[in-house]
Amino acid sequence: MAGREIVFITGANQGIGLETVKALLESDKPYCIFLGSRSRSNAAGAMADLKDLLAETKSTVEPVQIDVTDDDSINAAAQLVESRVGKVDVLINNAGAAFDTGFVADASNFRAVFNKAWDVNVSGAQVTTTVFAPLLIRSSAPRLLFLTSGLSTLNGAFDSFMPPWAPKPVSGWPKAGLMGHQGYKSAKAGLNMLMLTWHWILHGDGVKTWCISPGFLATNLGGRGADVLKAAGAGDPAMGGDLIRKVVEGERDADVGKVVTQDGVQPW
């Protein structure tokens, strides 16, 4: 592992997480990447997808089972990494999920929708960061990233709560056809605050910390399918992977402690 930066990515078996692995494999810099996946079978599928890139790269990828809603799983993943390499240079809290469907459909189940969204997106990132922090601060140049969303900005929500293509609320009750995404949005807004707390906690240890807001990309987040999102104007998920690579490789160091976007900084 000598000379290779150690990168641990949660939720890296698909979507932006997998695209991040690909972007790092295509970099001129060598990495030792731990590909975190909730299930071993999904990790195996991701490794098969990476086969051609792995044949050409100086970097390595090792799959690791980690479910960010399971503390035992998080602890086991950290213990494995410590036994293999003894430290982490870059921790990327990428695992995320959306459980909102539609306002009317979710209304009788809002507590579960919100609790699951916060468990994965916020509590999962909090526990993972806490467990991996001792490994992170052993690095000579540690970096800590959290994957947030353009839907998390309070300023942006005040000006325009939903994207132009989404249905707007109509008067009366129930709010038929409305997709509020309240659980996901509030969780990602909470994640932004979580990032700021870790920026403060680990600043003295030399850890550079960011949130990454990759933009509206065609992933399977929320189970709607990439094709549906593409039809609504979503971009290629590879854009998200490349943005994260830029942060990992120091191209956005001027924006430490902020929410980084493709072309600037997202307002709070």
What does the pLDDT profile of the chain (268 residues) look like in tens digits? Answer: 668 999 999 999 999 999 999 999 999 999 999 999 999 999 999 999 999 999 999 999 999 999 999 999 999 999 999 999 999 999 999 999 999 999 999 999 999 999 999 999 999 999 999 999 999 999 999 999 999 999 999 988 877 656 666 677 888 998 888 888 899 999 999 999 999 999 999 999 999 999 999 987 777 665 566 666 676 666 788 999 999 999 999 999 999 999 999 999 999 9
The pTM of this model reads: 0.94
Strands 259-260 vs 90-93: parallel, antiparallel or unpaired:
unpaired
- Residue 31 among the catalytic residues: no
DSSP E strands: which ranges in 81-219?
A: 90-93, 143-147, 208-212
- Residue 246 among the catalytic residues: no
Residue 130's domain spans which residues?
Answer: 5-266
The token duo for 23 is 């972007």
Q: Which CATH number fits the domain that encloses residue 48?
A: 3.40.50.720
User: For the chain, what is the domain count?
Assistant: 1
- Residue 149 among the catalytic residues: yes
Catalytic one among 22, 87, 185, 188?
A: 188
Catalytic one among 184, 185, 208, 258?
A: 184
Catalytic one among 149, 152, 208, 213?
A: 149
- In b/e form, how buried is each residue of 58-76, taking b as 16+ CB within 10 angstroms? ebebebbbbbbeeeebbeb
